[in-house]
Amino acid sequence: MASRPGTRAGLSSTTTGLGQHFSSPHKARDKQKTQTHVSIPGRNNKRQRLLKQLEDLLNPMQQAKSGTAHDPAATTNPESDTAGGDDVPSESLGIVDGPEFEVSDDYYDVLETSTPTPTVKKSSPSSLFQNWKVVIPTLVETFLSYLTRTMGKPISTPPSTMSHCMQACKTKTSVVVCLYFDHFCSIPVYSCKCASPPQVLLHHRLFPTSPSQPRVAVSVELLAFYRSLFERSCDAVNALASALNSHYIRRGFRVSGRDGKSVQDPFRRSLGHAIQWFDVLQVEVERRIESILTRCCDRISHARISASTETLGMPEYVDQQTVRMQSPGTCAPLLMQRCPACFGGSVFGRPLAGGGNIHVATDGNFHHRHRHLAGDCPTFYDPVYFISKAQVDAVG
């Protein structure tokens, strides 16, 4: 009989059938480990305790008659539990005990009851989300002012101190670690009633990582560069944090803790928060721009309609169905942007029996199902191109 090959590459090639089956060689077990008797400390007392509980479960009437006889707190003799009673012999169960360490029964009580239950603050993520939702609208004007001030100009040198007080207010000082393209530094930030810490930081081209008391801020140019990179590649927060830390170290800027040791991953969490909420700020700015453009277009269209109505005049009596069929109008701006050929018309009202004006086909996307095991988190973005579940349920 031919010997089995030691590797898959040693198999002989074949042109018919499946060939010879290859299986990995079995490694012999170490007898010194598998045949060594291990004595578990406290197993004998644990077995006696379980047998006692089993006896109480099998004889509930006897336990009720005995009253407090089985209560360990009412027993004056600590050896009375093992000296008397109708315990089931261990030999009848086929359990043989070896030499063990004697551990008291209270040892297991301590293990069962001394483990503290961790307290989870369920309201912390929701409160943080609400704080961000309140802060983001207050940063829109400051961000637009920053874009107007810096558009087409090179990046200026960061100042030694930061403030943006318009009045003679009482200031509050906080030191913030600022992350730039080529370095990071700690800068004192002076906030007051008329300028909150996030507004002061954004005025000096920095985005905070916390809504109320930020300790770390990220350069707006760095976040804008990451946003452009994300549009062309994928989400890479961990890669950016690691690359930024390596870039700082090569330039001689190293983050160390209070004990003087280097911090391995100092920017990942702060960068993640800044990237997420900077994107929310961008969405809020785009939403305001779209709303302003929509209102301007509506005013222009209403002015044209009123001018044409005054020029042509209205007849004394017009059928309501005729007005509904011939009245000009427009679709939603979002639909017109997605497909001008279908939704760019200006006359609507053709009945369904006549074919209608627009035929829309919708489809369900099962990739957007929510897993209950993942938990519920606040909604950061409103879906624009997806119909909500409440609207689908209302349609039936």
Look at residue 125 in the predicted model and tell me its pLDDT: 72
The rounded distance, in Å, linking the Cα atoms of 345 and 323 is 17
pLDDT attached to residue 95: 42
Which residues lie across from 262 on neighbouring strands? 256
Whole-number pLDDT of residue 326: 40
* pLDDT, position 177: 92
Name the token pair of 98: 């070896």
Residue 93 has a pLDDT of 40
- Print burial letters for 174-195: b (CB count within 10 Å at least 16), e (below 16): eebbbbbeeebeebebbbbeeb
pLDDT of residue 248: 84
Residue 101, pLDDT score: 41
Task: Provide the pLDDT for residue 6.
Answer: 63
Q: Which residues are CB-contacts of 332 (< 8 A; sequence separation ≥ 6)?
A: 343
Per-run averaged pLDDT (10 residues), the chain, 396 residues: 63 72 76 80 89 88 60 44 43 43 45 50 71 91 90 86 87 92 91 91 93 91 86 78 84 84 85 89 88 84 68 49 48 79 77 78 66 68 74 76
Locate tokens 């027993």: which residue? 75
The pTM score is: 0.49
Of 55, 53, 72, 212, the C-alpha closest to 133 is 212
185 within 8 A of 175, measured Cβ to Cβ: no
Q: What is the pLDDT of residue 218?
A: 94
Q: Which of 212, 208, 232 is nearest to 220 (CA)?
A: 208
pLDDT at 228: 81
H or E element at residue 172: strand 172-179
pLDDT at residue 313, as a whole number: 52
Helix ranges restricted to H, 268-388:
268-312, 320-326, 333-338, 340-343
